[in-house]
Amino acid sequence: MKKHINILKSSAIALAMLMIGCEDGDLPFDDITADVTRGAVLRTVSQEGTFFDRNDTSTSWSLEFEEQDQEDGALLEKVDLFVGFDDNTEGNGTVAPAEVLVQTINASEFQTGEFGLPRASVSSTFAEALSALGLVAGQFDGGDAIEFRLLLTLTDGRTFTNTDNTGTITGSFFSSPFLYRLVIKCVPTAPVPGDYEINMNDSFGDGWDGAFITVTIDGTATEYTIDDGSEASFDINVPVGTTELIFEYTPGNFEGEHTYDIIGPTGDLAVEDGPSPNPGVITLSICI
């Protein structure tokens, strides 16, 4: 009941702000359209691959994006793709290779998308990214990250990248971050035995609204959730000799309230997700 009351209150407040904003011209949409008028964006159309596997350099990432400017793409000159490395692990020393230009897509190479705007795609395997950066085994580990950055150049010489963006442009409306960060994970090739800890949180404090995590150990499935309140923790023992271990997230309502993390048998963070966690099988990172 509290949630429904808050929703009604929020709707009333939003309507009042909308009426005021229409006079003042300071709606978020005004900021969005002003940014587009002043410059340009590269909107994320689709993305495949959210991490690289330390143990499998064939894992890949791909991105389809769309350019938008005040001339409906007529100002597009080119887009450059750079790859960089973020060293977050101390055990193997400090590695800081310079960011590398790996691809240039000229305006003539773009295709026309469904909205009449220019679209293009880029992709990379983990092996290709490592080669471009000059990294070899032993110089990277789980927790480090590969970063792909887009640089948009217009025909008038202006350039745009992640450092030029506002939160409105990078967020859900245009989804134009210009920077795509892929964490390197240590994906186990077989179940790692030991004790796991699942920590769940609901920011509103009324439970997980139908969402749950299923843990399957050798065919036996157990569901875990927050029945009520803001948090819950569960300890799970995976016996030695286990041949099947699956963690899976099933969404419910009000997904923006849900977050979780899983601590692996090593005592390190194996995964964290949310708000709005990705549904489906959860990929753990356990470096052993």
Q: Are residues 78 and 165 in the same domain?
A: yes
CA distances (Å), origin 90, targets 48, 94, 138, 147, 212: 29, 7, 12, 19, 35
Beta bridge partners of 53: 56, 185
Give the total number of structural domains in the chain. Answer: 2
Per the domain annotation, does 32 fall within a domain?
no
Co-location of 263 and 159 in the same domain: no
Domain CATH for 144:
2.60.40.1940
Average pLDDT (210-232) is 98
The range of the structural domain enclosing residue 86 comes to 39-185
Q: State the pLDDT at residue 175.
A: 73
User: 222-228: which pairs have CB atoms within 8 A and are 24 or more residues apart?
Assistant: 224/198, 224/200, 225/200, 226/200, 226/201, 226/202
Domain boundary among 155, 185, 215: 185
Nearest to 68 by CA among 9, 116, 1, 128: 116
Give the tokens for residue 55: 């143990």
Residue 95 inside a domain? The answer is: yes
What average pLDDT is seen over the chain?
A: 87
With a cut of 60, say whether residue 34 has pLDDT above it: no
**Average of pLDDT values for 198-214?**
98
Query: Per the structure block, which two tokens stand in for 160?
Result: 């745009």
Domain assignment present for 238: yes
Of 81-90, 146-155, 208-217, 248-257, the one with minimum mean pLDDT is 81-90
Q: What pTM did the predictor assign?
A: 0.74
Mean pLDDT in residue range 147-158: 97
pLDDT in tens, 14-25: 444 444 444 444
CB 208 within 8 A of CB 226: yes
Residues 124 and 242 in one domain: no
The CATH number of the domain holding residue 222 is 2.60.40
Q: Using one digit for the tens of pLDDT, what is the confidence trace for 153-204? A: 999 999 999 987 554 444 444 578 999 999 999 999 999 999 999 999 999 9
Residues above pLDDT 70, as percent of the chain: 83
127: pLDDT strictly greater than 60: yes
The pLDDT tens digits for 182-196 are 999 999 999 999 999
Q: What are the tokens at 56?
A: 């499998």
Q: What is 37-54 written as a DSSP string? A: HHSEEEEEEEEE--EEET
257 plus 176 within the same structural domain: no
Q: Determine, yes or no, domain membership for 34.
A: no
Q: Which of 13-17, 111-115, 235-239 has the lowest mean pLDDT?
A: 13-17
Query: Is 221 within the bounds of a domain?
Result: yes
Q: pLDDT value at position 288? A: 85
196 vs 143, more confident: 196
Task: Give residue-wise pLDDT tens across range 36-84.
Answer: 456 899 999 999 999 999 999 999 999 999 999 999 999 999 999 999 9
Last residue of a domain, one of 185, 209, 232: 185
Give the end of a domain, one of 185, 205, 235.
185
Evaluate if residue 152 carries a pLDDT over 70: yes
Contact (Cβ atoms closer than 8 angstroms) between residue 227 and residue 267: no
pLDDT at 108 over 90: yes
The C-alpha atoms of residue 62 and residue 66 are separated, in whole angstroms, by 14
CA distance 84 to 163: 15
Do 47 and 177 belong together in one domain? yes
